[in-house]
Amino acid sequence: MNKLNLNQTQIESCRKYANIIANDVQEFINKHTTVSVERTVLRLLGVDGVDDFSAPIPNRLVDDVIKNGDISLGISIYIASALTSTKLSLDDFVTYYINNNISICDYDLVDKASTFKILKPYYEANLTKIRDNKIIRENYIKKYPREKTDIYVIVATGNIDEDVIQAVSAAKAGADIIAVIRSTGQSLLDYVPYGKTTEGFGGTFATQENFKIMRAALDKVSEEEKRYIYLVNYASGLCMPEIACMGALERLDVLLNDSMYGIIFRDINMKRTFVDQYFSRLINAYSGIIINTGEDNYLTTADAVEEAHTVTASQFINEAFAKLAHLPNKLMGLGHAFEIDPEVEDSFVLELAQAQLAREIFPEAPLKYMPPTKHINGNIFRAYQQNAMFNMVTTMTNQSIHLLGMMTEAIHTPYMSDRYLAIKNAKMIQRSMKSLGDEILYKENGAIQNRAKEVLNNAEKLLKQIANDGMFNSLSNGVFAQTKRTMTGGKGLGGVFKKSDNYINVVLEKMEESFNED
């Protein structure tokens, strides 16, 4: 039901502008590759591990081609050529490469057809594993049907073993989704750490082994609790597609995956992160992983009343980018947040309007709704009240991914007891208000309808402006989160390369081909 009486023509206008914006950026994406994209190709061929100095082997191979070959051709042709000349398997060649101080560029290059033929057994093995993981997830969901709102809880100890204990505890208390926060600053590392880790600051390193450990633990508790527990990690940052690859191989269910978050809040170069975003989202689409976007963060630096329309505009843009990467609506976890100052008159009414607006514009999307953080202080009793109001809006507007607020948000990393209270608060409100959203209507031209229309109108104006100026220039002008970033600034620009006319990416082409067949 359209409770807000939104102008559908205006919504289509917003989508038209968002498509113009995304297609313009896609033209740039299609002509470029990055070091992380090429390292991801290696990972999806089965290259992993580190050398004697703990340098990731995918990094070494790509850096070698940058230095001694032509990375604009892509890593695929160099691997295929090396295997052809040496007559070795990929595993044996990597061992030979590491031990014999040779260059991957020492071999005559084969043609495109030969590249695909030689590498097919390797990429097919991993693409098959990803497809199998998708089926396993789908079977779990059929076995244990999900509620319309999933409770999302964070663990962030720095030690994967301790994370498992806290994750299992949260799942047994009622959490449906467990997010393992990454160690502070990992998004700025231009490599992926390797193996199990037990030391991190503010979170735990995202590694494939850590993913595997947590997945096994959550599968076990899923069977015990008769609920499939989703696993979340973060694919933003300089290694966005590599982490998407690792998540697909280890059956993660949700990945935070938004280039604009990295550009604005981590100062990652916009060219680098838009190219990385496309390949990472293509992997997520192929593997059935839900993406989460980071619009909620805009309201931590800008006023949530005055800048609400920037969230809506960004959601439209992220939807357009997601469609270009073949993500269906059911995998678009677009983000927003409950961040209006509670001292503002009718703040609850304004929050309700914003949440209902997102739900009506994107009815099939598993929206990710974030709790109050900016206006949480050391008064844990007020924080508990704020989180209760947040839980009420979540239930009334049928948000999909409900990230719980913690009453100790402004004091310390939450204890298990804090998470327990947060889960019980959310569960109580879900039960007691279960049907309320279906029972109420909003007054015609009342405060809620008018606020939603105001936000949509301002979002349309902003999208039109961005479509006219271009996304790169708009980000340089600080249209989101009142933060300006330049096309040549930020981290990672040196890892962006223009593709040759003869560029080959065997994995990307095979994934795109599978969607075109559908």
Catalytically active residues, by annotation: 261, 296, 368
Asked if 229 and 177 touch (Cβ cutoff 8 Å), the reply is yes
**Which ranges constitute the DSSP H helices of 327-372?**
347-361
Q: Give the N- to C-terminal CA distance of the chain in Å, as an integer.
A: 31
Distance of alpha carbon 39 from alpha carbon 22, whole angstroms: 25
Q: Which long-range contacts (CB under 8 A, 24 or more apart) does 217-226 make?
A: 217/164, 217/167, 217/168, 218/167, 218/168, 218/171, 218/178, 220/168, 221/167, 221/168, 221/171, 221/172, 222/140, 222/144, 222/171, 224/172, 225/171, 225/172, 226/144
* Sign of the Cα pseudo-torsion (170, 172, 175, 177, in order): positive
H or E element: which one contains 498?
A: strand 496-498
> By C-alpha distance, which of 123, 94, 21 is closest to 510?
123
User: Can you tell me the distance from the alpha carbon of 80 to that of 74, in angstroms, rounded to the nearest whole number?
Assistant: 11
Element (H, E) at 285: helix 270-287
Residue type, 11: I
Q: Which of 322, 289, 286 shows the shortest CA–CA distance to 517?
A: 286
Residues 6 or more apart whose Cβ sits within 8 Å of residue 380: 407, 408, 411
Rg, the chain, Cα only: 23
d(CA 344, CA 348): 9
For residue 276, count other CB atoms closer than 10 A to its CB.
33
Cα–Cα distance for residue pair 393/228, rounded to 1 Å: 25
378/395 Cα distance (integer angstroms): 26
Count the helices and strands in the chain (H runs, E runs): 20, 11
Helix, strand and coil percent figures for the chain, each rounded to 5: 60, 10, 35
CA–CA separation, 488 and 469 (whole Å): 17
Q: Which amino acid is at 428?
A: M
Distance CA 423, CA 400 (A): 15
